[in-house]
Amino acid sequence: MAEITIYSAVVCPFAHRSRLVLLEKGIDFDLVEIDLQNKPANFTDISPYSKVPVIKHGNERVWESAIINEYLDEVFPQPSLLPKDAISKAQARIWIDFANTRFVPAFSSLLRSLDSQKQKEAAQELEQHLRFIENEALAKLSDNGPYWFGEAISLVDLTFYPWFERWAAIEQYRGFKLPAELTRIQKWWDAVSQRESVKAIANSPKFYLERYARFAPLPFKKVSEELSSAGQITPEQLQQAAKQGFQSVLNLRSPDEQGFFNDEQQHAQAAGLNYANIPINPAQANQELVEKAIWEIDNLPKPILVHCAAGARATAIALIANASQQQLTPEEIKLKAQELGLNLDQPHLKQFLQQN
């Protein structure tokens, strides 16, 4: 049996740090993977905070990744992952603290926040931190070497790297890219990613995109300040819609349509959303049902997310409701339809235009 047991979770960047340290030091270890959504009943007996990572070393336990990593470096001193001289060691600890208290919270806030203003603020903060790393760390401490402290990998490099492996998530879901002029960070990123320890447990961008898909922006079109449209949305996206400030959901699908969620109303109400279902045929205009849908839009608390299977009829009904309320001219309606990518031959919109 290995001397060290680590309780980890593949999706957790904090656990990722400590696994990298174990691999860099060549420490034999047993890995216990924890399902963070379904933790063992006795997990608090192992992890008092009920979090990963935790290591067991003989009869002792150590938790919190930064503390685990220093413990491992002290107990298994070769190869050393902290500088030897006092000032460099202090600088290493400063940058580990910077990761924990500034860089990681900004990254996490950008990815996890569903509020657009908070995302904007987090993106600005994260960029400031990246520029600070470029100019105050890598430009001053690494000399011409690829790592934080030059030619040798350190705990600082391993502390930051897991979030860079997950970068695809904030790039895909938040449109945040590493600024091209931050060449020292890019050089560092490239070098760390090629370490054998990193490659041994690396996951692909696709892996992280799938794991963080719940943070993907809702695929809706904003028709007005009060109305947005979308295709079929999932229970998770209903939760997102509520968090983004929507008050109501209007479903235009028929229960006999393929892919209709029979429990959508329950999920919507569990998320705190008002809910209505008006089954409008996507291919055949029905004035009576359109009027019922408009009535629901007039009376449901706003803002409202109107959805259907692919989004076309939802966009059309939302546009008709907005046009009726704002008394838009046919030309203004056509222009708005063009902005929304809505075909003027969409049956309900076409009928509405013919009547006006």
Catalytic residue numbers, as ranges: 12
Residues β-bridged to residue 147: 150
Element (H, E) at 330: helix 330-339
Task: Extract the tokens encoding 322.
Answer: 């907005």
Contact 285, 355 (CB under 8 A): no
**Helix 330-339 vs helix 312-326: angle between axes, to the nearest 10 degrees?**
140
Question: Cα-Cα-Cα-Cα dihedral of 95, 98, 100, 102, to 10°?
Answer: -160
- d(C-alpha 157, C-alpha 308), whole Å: 47
Contact 141, 85 (CB under 8 A): no
Task: Extract the tokens encoding 325.
Answer: 């309320």
Contact 304, 246 (CB under 8 A): yes
Helix, strand, coil shares of the chain, percent, nearest 5, are 55, 10, 35
Instruction: Return the amino acid letter for 251.
Output: N
- d(C-alpha 302, C-alpha 89), whole Å: 56
- d(C-alpha 26, C-alpha 338), whole Å: 60
Residue 183 burial (CB count, 10 A): 13
- d(C-alpha 82, C-alpha 152), whole Å: 9
